[in-house]
A and B are shown apart, each in its own frame.
With several copies, the nearest count.
Chain A
Amino acid sequence: MERSLLVAGFGGQGVMLIGKNIGYTASKKDLNATFFPAYGAEMRGGTANCSVVVSDSKICSPVKQELDEIIVMNDLSYEKFAGRVKKGGALYINSSLIEAKYEGDDITTYYVPVADIARKVGNPLVANMVMLGAYVANHEDIDVESMKETIKENLHGKENLIDVNIKAFEEGINLMKGGTQ
């Protein structure tokens, strides 16, 4: 089993945290995982993306040309990356910001209005956790409780934000379980 994921958006959308949480949660399960971040230019806006590979055997390349799954959080990322999902793979789209619709049926697409939900939850900055929830909902091999632990650990020093992040994450799961497409 090897699964590759790319998460892309603009700086400030927290795309890194989505990827890091997925990689870290996998690593706790004795899977191999790699997380590779790519910033447009350091510290400032622009686009950012990260690659996550999870595998039960050795991981060679931490970045791939074609990916099993891609999460895009803004227009630019959609344009740049949507075409790189493997046949049969999945594309997660932040439909609050991205208006485009994917044409073609070789992959599965999920349109997740993460910003809207985040605002509902009370903090527009946790849209990333909504997306994470949506992603996790689709993966039975990712343990929800373990992921919640990860989210908490990665908020070390910002404990006051734990609740809203967890809430957003749960909303993402619910949304998916409810079924969106």
Chain B
Amino acid sequence: MNDKLFVKGSEAIAEAAVRAGCRFFAGYPITPQNELPEYMSWRLPEVGGTYVQGESEMASMNMIFGAASTGTRCMTSSSGPGLSLKAESLSCALGSKLPHVMAIMMRGGPGHGIIFPAQQDYEFAVHGPCHGGVKQFILAPSTAQEAVDLTYSSFDIADKYRTGVLILGDGFLANTIENVTFPPMKKLEDLPQHKDWKITEYDPNHHKLITSYFPPEIMEQENIKMGQMYEYWEEHETQYQNYLMDDCEILICAYGSTGRICEEVVDELRNEGLKVGLFRPITLHPFPKKVFEEIDYNRVKLIVSVEMAIPGQLVEDIKNYVARRTRVEHFGRSGGVLINPGEIKEAIHKMVEE
């Protein structure tokens, strides 16, 4: 397979996963990400891996649960409704410390089935997605290339922390075809072997039990450790794009597809004389909060969260981190209405005039 391709975001993610060593995939059809499982259905057998079409999102998630307990790099994908359906078993998987990767391509919502891009699952994914207070590591790529790179590294993150990594994209990312260069195929021998916990290794002196059930005192210890891990992530694992932030007076915050769109907005507004910059968080959890401690709030007079979500979701977190040190606004479209650079520019102009 060529290393450089003109390829759909969904397929790019799939190929990157295979190259990262993913050898098991289970998923269920849902637009706008059908091409991801479809790609896996022929690509995995080609490299000796397994594709199973689950009978539901939930079953797929639980197949991942099983696959992960064998130490196999594994993945599932869906859209927001699927993330909802995976929620319960996700909680069990995270509690059982099973490394896995999940790609969720957001679409308009709530509910039954808009197929157009949106970012209305941010709050759910970042603050929600399951009971018991466990969290995933969340990466939000903005282009197919970035999706490839992040997917490639996501399996390492999952293994390193024995956690779940969520690749949170949207219908834009999933469906846009563009140029992508792929990293090399990893050798399975070079991947972590997990002998200490994976259930395919039998050791008469060490009973291996994959579970998220513990007596309260031990569960509390687990909770504490998880909390510490999240703090560690925040210290060491955040990623973001700083695009002309350093001298900006107006700061746009946007992630994923909206992030890439806003780069154009920044350029154009700069041309029009406004000192605009872009903060694009790449890790949504851990969130690069520290950035908001380093901002010169005497200079930055306005922060605008641009999202494909109404009501705004990212904006609520931004407000939290800014803690009233400057003005924070929101501009967005939602429900599957495509957002475009023109209207974002216009909205910012209007905010400035206010």
Contacts and interface: CB of A to CB of B under 8 A. Distances in A.
Does a CB–CB distance below 8 Å link A and B in the complex? yes
Nearest to B34: A42
Nearest to A66: B342
B232 interface: no
A63 B170 CA distance: 14
Nearest to A52: B177
Given A39-B115, A42-B31, A61-B261, A27 B179 contact: yes
Nearest to A53: B178
B260 A20 contact: no
A45 to B, nearest CB: 15
B178 A33 contact: yes
Interface in A101-143: none
Given A35-B177, A38-B116, A60-B261, A24 B343 contact: no
Interface residues of B, number: 21
B340 A23 contact: no
B341 A60 contact: yes
Interface residues of A, number: 24
Interface of A: 20, 23-24, 27-28, 32-39, 41-42, 58-66
A65 B175 CA distance: 18
Contacts, number: 61
Contact of B342 (A20, A28, A34, A65): A65
A35 B6 CA distance: 9
A102 B2 CA distance: 44
A59 B178 contact: yes
Contacts of B267: 60
Contact of A61 (B115, B116, B341): B341
B280 to A, nearest CB: 11
B322 to A, nearest CB: 25
A26 to B, nearest CB: 9
